[in-house]
Amino acid sequence: MTQYRLTVSGTYGNGRKWSFRQHYVSAASLATILADWKTQWEAAWTTATTGLATLIASTTTFTGVSAAELTGNPYREGLKTANTVSHVGTGTGDSLSSHDAILVSRRGAAVGARNRGRTYLPAPCEAAQVDGVLTTTDSGHASTSINAVRTAMVAAGHTPVVYNTKTSVADPFVQNNKTITSEEVDRVLRSQRRRTEKQVAIYV
């Protein structure tokens, strides 16, 4: 079985970039898991009336996916491949700030932070939220979309995981995989400032 890092990326209208990554374990080849990842995220984004695009402003673009094999301790990317796509949002109104994000909590069967991970989807459009809280309809669309990706990837033989990078009493060995069994969307919008802190300042 191979440990993979899978990434989704895109841009905002102001040129700033967004991305997120998840980890999977699979016996499939690098090319196969990338093709499956691309297919599922394109479906999650573009599905009519319920896809992620309906939450996202038209100035935000989903531009690509990548897959990398992880090896060593600590993990380092080895072989890596990518595919480009071009799908814009279809939501109403302007995008919120590029450091705003939709938080997805990725959870294993056991409780505790060591059995959980997080994914930060790009900032939604104005109409998808009220006072920083996603509408019930739009949060439902996000939940349906991201869980459909995980379900389809599992059906294709790829197991979503999180792993520890430090030892503890509960995890005496590093890189101990825990299988993700569910994903839940936080209706309260969160901040992902790492998406903006690397941007070069523009003084006037």
Tokens of 141: 């669309």
Question: 0.85 exceeded by the pTM?
Answer: yes
202 belongs to a structural domain: no
What letter would DSSP give residue 27? S
pLDDT tens-digit series, residues 50-79: 999 999 999 999 999 999 999 998 899 999
Domain region containing 172: 2-197
192 belongs to a structural domain: yes
12 belongs to a structural domain: yes
136 belongs to a structural domain: yes
104 belongs to a structural domain: yes
74 belongs to a structural domain: yes
Amino acid sitting at position 175? Q
Mark the ranges of the chain whose per-residue pLDDT is less than 70.
114, 194-200
Q: What span, in angstroms and rounded, lies between the C-alpha atoms of 107 and 163?
A: 12
Count structural domains, the chain.
Answer: 1
User: How does 136-168 read in b/e, with b if 16+ C-beta sit within 10 Å?
Assistant: eebbebbbebbbbbbebbeebebbbbbbbeeee
Q: What span, in angstroms and rounded, lies between the C-alpha atoms of 48 and 32?
A: 26
